[in-house]
């Protein structure tokens, strides 16, 4: 009887307020735009010292204020805890491909598939189901790696992933093996192949890759020697996907600071906008690479917009004329900043930071093909949420039926503990999702 009442109460509360959440800080997640939704796969929390299996999303067809963005959690999670992977969306198949990165079962265990095995999994946006495509691929799959940035040709359905690193942590020693192979996956025939090795860059990690409409992939920044920022942004590696050929180009214009773990988006007029990054310096200018001139030309927007705290290991996605910059780390400021889920929107027409997001060009964003049901989360799936306004109502979402009173009570006690720890703005009990306030 008590069990039923508690359960009923829980259902009422969750249906009443379970709309949006304020996620825990994270970095090294992968983001893609599909179905008018901006999805964030996995990531790693430096507070929780853990990777996530969570998929967050934002409905970008609705306006919102960036101080309070309406994040939601998909009711399906990644089959493992994922970070430093690369995600690619194929509109042809309405599927997201997730490749590489750390793949953990639990917090600090080894990669669950071992370091040798590459795992490519696909997520179908129509049925919200994961598919372990790697068991069925043809060709020779690449070894597992991270700190990669893949690109997909949405007309041919082929994606391209260069380099990356396999690091193994043994006690205090990190053993890193970096790669410089171009791996191509055909999402139609499910076949892996290797691109040309001739003229390829040295092993490279932490770079960005951007596919231009002429089929050329532009590689920007990163590290040729793992964990040294020794690649100049003015020296660009290019790979022509049409003829499988490498070349390099010395970009003209201003000289930029070397950086890794930055982000890049391509505008409709073929400019690449680069934000953030790391090399233990503080702030980076926003930079724009014009690829309509040869050699390509770097510039800094004028007047230079005031920079917010520059993050690295964030994700950036272009939504119409807005560059969304999400999550990431800022390790040179006091630790309070590390807890923020950074959220910046740049209007790329005039390089201004936007506080109130107004969707535009909605006709150009494809309609949703599925309805995402956010009223539950799955395993471990216990999430404590508070509404993101100052409303004191509590919603406890339980993604499984038949939980015992003990479990529910445990959650409530957990919530009380969480409230006591509010100054820390996260709860150790509820690793999946916690609202601030
Ligand atoms: C998984 O992918 C394979 C290959 O594309 C396909 O044949 C199969 O139907 C998929 N399974 C699901 C459940 O989507
Ligand atoms: C990754 O590193 C580990 C340990 O050094 C090694 O055993 C493994 O073979 C490496 N994997 C690849 C793909 O290089
Ligand atoms: C395919 O990619 C091009 C270039 O990035 C983009 O303009 C177009 O909107 C994409 N098409 C779909 C259906 O996503
Ligand atoms: C970066 O470091 C690697 C390893 O020491 C070296 O081989 C490479 O030439 C360096 N790259 C540049 C551009 O200096
Ligand atoms: C940036 O990279 C270039 C090329 O390797 C190197 O010569 C230069 O010293 C690097 N700059 C910094 C500040 O590390
Ligand atoms: C930037 O451009 C957008 C679109 O043209 C406009 O709505 C906005 O007011 C501009 N912002 C500033 C600060 O001028
Ligand atoms: C966004 O919300 C903050 C805090 O609630 C508020 O101070 C600010 O005025 C809002 N901005 C806009 C553009 O609505
Ligand atoms: C997308 O949805 C809107 C509003 O529901 C509708 O008016 C429009 O026709 C739809 N477009 C397509 C291509 O289905
Ligand atoms: C969402 O889930 C609830 C509970 O499982 C179900 O009753 C409802 O029909 C679902 N909504 C959609 C749109 O599938
Ligand atoms: C998630 O929501 C979708 C859409 O309503 C539904 O079809 C699916 O069964 C749900 N999955 C889980 C694991 O609850």
* pLDDT by residue, tens only, the chain of 437 residues: 444 444 444 333 333 334 688 898 899 999 999 989 999 999 998 888 888 999 999 999 999 999 889 999 999 999 999 999 999 999 999 999 999 998 888 766 666 666 666 789 999 999 988 987 767 889 999 988 999 999 999 999 999 999 999 877 777 777 888 999 999 999 999 999 999 999 999 999 999 999 999 999 999 999 997 777 889 999 999 999 999 999 999 999 999 989 999 999 999 999 999 999 987 665 677 999 999 999 999 999 977 778 777 888 999 999 999 999 999 988 655 555 556 778 999 999 999 999 999 998 554 444 333 333 333 222 222 222 223 322 222 222 222 222 333 333 333 333 333 333 332 333 222 223 333 22
> Which residue's entry shows tokens 């696909």?
122
Residues with CB under 6 A from ligand 4: 202, 224-225, 230-231
pLDDT of residue 331: 66
Classify 419 as helix, strand or coil: helix
Which atom from ligand 5 is nearest to the alpha carbon of 228?
Answer: 14
Residues with CB under 6 A from ligand 7: 65, 67, 355-356
pLDDT of residue 335: 56
Q: Residue 103's CB: how many other CB atoms inside 10 A?
A: 29
Report the nearest-CA residue for atom 6 of ligand 2.
115
Distance between Cα 270 and ligand 10 center (Å) = 38
Query: Residue 302 corresponds to which tokens in the numbers above?
Result: 């004028």
| Upstream peptide bond of 303 is cis (omega within 30 degrees of 0) | yes
- Exposed/middle/buried for residue 209 (C-beta within 10 Å: 0-12, 13-18, 19+): buried
Contact by Cβ (8 Å): 150, 131: no
Which atom from ligand 3 is nearest to the alpha carbon of 364?
Answer: 9
| Upstream peptide bond of 425 is cis (omega within 30 degrees of 0) | no
pLDDT of residue 282: 57
DSSP string covering 152-171: EETTTTEEEEE--EEEEEET
Distance between Cα 436 and ligand 2 center (Å) = 40
Report the nearest-CA residue for atom 13 of ligand 4.
231
Classify 239 as helix, strand or coil: strand
Distance between first and last Cα of the chain:
33
Contact by Cβ (8 Å): 265, 316: yes
The closest ligand to the CA of 318 turns out to be 3
Contact by Cβ (8 Å): 319, 33: yes
Question: Where do the H-state alpha helices sit in 140-247?
Answer: none
Distance between Cα 170 and ligand 2 center (Å) = 12
Residue in 240, 206, 201 with CA at minimum distance from that of residue 222 = 206
Ligand 1 pocket test target in 126, 131, 135 with most atoms within 8 Å of CB: 131
Q: Are strands 252-253 and 297-299 parallel, antiparallel or unpaired?
A: parallel
Which atom from ligand 7 is nearest to the alpha carbon of 355?
Answer: 13
Report the nearest-CA residue for atom 1 of ligand 6.
350
């Amino acid at each position: 009887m008590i069990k039923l009442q508690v359960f009923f109460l829980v259902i009422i509360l969750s249906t009443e307020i379970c709309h949006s959440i304020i996620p825990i800080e994270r970095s090294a997640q992968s983001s893609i735009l599909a179905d008018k939704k901006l999805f964030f796969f996995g990531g790693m929390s430096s507070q929780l010292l853990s990777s996530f299996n969570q998929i967050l999303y934002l409905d970008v067809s609705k306006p919102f204020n960036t101080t309070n963005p309406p994040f939601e959690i998909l009711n399906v999670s990644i089959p493992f805890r994922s970070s430093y992977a690369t995600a690619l969306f194929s509109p042809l198949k309405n599927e997201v491909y997730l490749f590489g990165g750390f793949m953990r079962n639990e917090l600090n265990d080894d990669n669950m598939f071992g370091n040798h095995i590459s795992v490519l999994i696909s997520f179908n946006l129509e049925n919200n189901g994961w598919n372990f495509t790697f068991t069925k691929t043809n060709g020779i799959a690449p070894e597992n790696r991270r700190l990669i940035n893949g690109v997909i040709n949405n007309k041919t359905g082929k994606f391209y992933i260069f380099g990356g690193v396999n690091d193994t942590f043994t006690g205090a020693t990190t053993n890193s093996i970096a790669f410089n192979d171009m791996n191509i996956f055909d999402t139609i025939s499910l076949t892996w192949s290797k691109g040309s090795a001739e003229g390829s860059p040295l092993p490279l990690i932490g770079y960005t890759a951007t596919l231009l409409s002429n089929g050329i992939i532009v590689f920007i920044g990163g590290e040729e020697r793992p964990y040294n920022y020794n690649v100049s942004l003015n020296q660009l590696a290019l790979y022509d996907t049409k003829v499988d050929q490498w070349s390099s180009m010395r970009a003209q214009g201003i000289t930029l600071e070397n950086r890794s773990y930055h982000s890049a988006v391509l505008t409709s007029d073929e400019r690449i906008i680069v934000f953030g990054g790391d090399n233990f310096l503080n702030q980076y200018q926003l930079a724009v690479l014009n690829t309509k001139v040869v050699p390509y030309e770097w510039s800094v927007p004028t007047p230079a917009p005031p920079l917010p705290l520059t993050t690295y290991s964030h994700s950036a996605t272009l939504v119409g004329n807005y560059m969304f910059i999400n999550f990431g780390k800022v390790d040179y400021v006091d630790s309070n900043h590390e807890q923020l889920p950074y959220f910046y929107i740049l209007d790329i027409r005039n390089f201004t930071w936007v506080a109130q997001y107004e969707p535009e060009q909605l006709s150009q964003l494809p309609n949703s093909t599925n309805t995402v049901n956010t009223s539950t989360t799955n395993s471990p799936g216990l999430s404590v949420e508070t509404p993101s306004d100052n409303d004191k109502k509590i919603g406890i979402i339980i993604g499984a039926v038949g939980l015992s009173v003990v479990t529910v009570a445990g959650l409530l006690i957990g919530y009380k503990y969480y409230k006591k720890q509010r100054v820390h703005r996260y709860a150790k009990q509820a690793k999946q999702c916690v609202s601030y306030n």
